[in-house]
Amino acid sequence: MLELVDVRVAYDDTVAVDGVSLTVNETETVALLGPSGSGKSTLLRAMAGLEPLASGRISLNGRDLAAVPVHKRGIGLMFQDYVLFPQRDVRDNVAFGLEMRGDARGSIDSRVDEVLALVGLSGYGSRGATELSGGEQQRVALARALAPTPRLLMLDEPLGALDRVLRTRLLEDLAAMFRELRLPIVYVTHDQEEALAVADRVALMNRGRLDAVASPAQLWSAPPTEFAARFLGFNNIGDFVREGDHAQTEWGSIPVAADAPERGRLLLRPDGVRVDADGTLAGTIRASTFRGDHTHVLVELANHSMLEIDLRGDSPPLDSEVRLAVDPARVNFLS
């Protein structure tokens, strides 16, 4: 189990990580999600011991890591764009951690074969590290991190440099492998799709701080903060004041649960709005994009505010007038 208590990392007068507390359980995969510069990679490096802590505590399986140097931490770290040793072949890359541990030659060979098979690269041992394709390099990097049986696996943007098709496939492979590994895993990414797909819990970072920690389903269905909502791609966010079972918003009056907060910020989910002749909002269709399972539609309301909605099936023609109804269950209140 990995435990972070009030971790701060600072250098050159800038605070990269500011008071992060987080626990990663025995067999749990936590995704550190956030835009670039949010401090997630720095936090990862701090956990590995590659960045000194300004304050706070990191412990692994109950042991404080403060006095443990990088090379004694027993952590597997897969770097962004892999950082394979260019002068060594695949086998020697994977064997490096085992050599450092002082394993016997025979046991190194069998362990290398074992992890190469695990990542689907049996027989690649003598290939040069720089001759491989991006996807192959990614798997070598994973094999290299796993070979010395780490107590914690961390991955920094593991799919960042790959093309979309390959990413989708590898994402499934990784998710399946994480379930088998039964290790605490920290997965850093700026891509919300990746985070939601692989993680048991998502920790969202913003400017060095943890903005939200939640399961993928929770995070998606009820983003707790405005930053989380915007980061997940939602745009219908605005102020509201509740009066009984309706809330006054920039788009107009919408129905909400009677026990909702009095006032604040809310998110009107685009899939919670439907075209309905009895709807309370009126507007004009201004743009529509076909997205496969739904159509993303931009509506200009009577008061000239814009609203994004996702419609099942076809969109009404451009510039046609529509009335819209809001599902009160699909309104999220943000903190």
Residues forming contacts to another protein in the complex (CB under 8 A) are: 11-12, 45, 48-50, 52, 69-77, 79, 81, 83, 85-87, 96-97, 100-101, 128, 130, 144-145, 148
Question: Number of helices and strands (H, E) in the chain?
Answer: 8, 20
List CB contacts of 299: < 8 A, sequence separation 6 or more. Answer: 283, 284, 285, 286, 306, 307, 308, 309, 322, 324
Question: From residue 242, how far is each of 223, 259, 303, 334 by CA, in Å?
Answer: 20, 10, 19, 14
- Residue 209 C-beta: closest distance to another protein, Å: 21
191-221 residues labelled b (16+ CB within 10 A) or e (exposed): ebebbbbbbbbbbbbbebbbbbbbebeebee
Q: 93 or 206: whose CB is closer to another protein?
A: 93
Q: 155 or 212: whose CB is closer to another protein?
A: 155
Q: 181 or 325: whose CB is closer to another protein?
A: 181
Q: 11 or 290: whose CB is closer to another protein?
A: 11
- Residue 18 C-beta: closest distance to another protein, Å: 17
- Residue 257 C-beta: closest distance to another protein, Å: 49
- Residue 206 C-beta: closest distance to another protein, Å: 24
Q: 127 or 294: whose CB is closer to another protein?
A: 127
Give phi and psi for 176, each to the nearest 5.
-65, -40
**From CA 143, how far away is CA 121, in angstroms rounded?**
9
- Residue 27 C-beta: closest distance to another protein, Å: 21
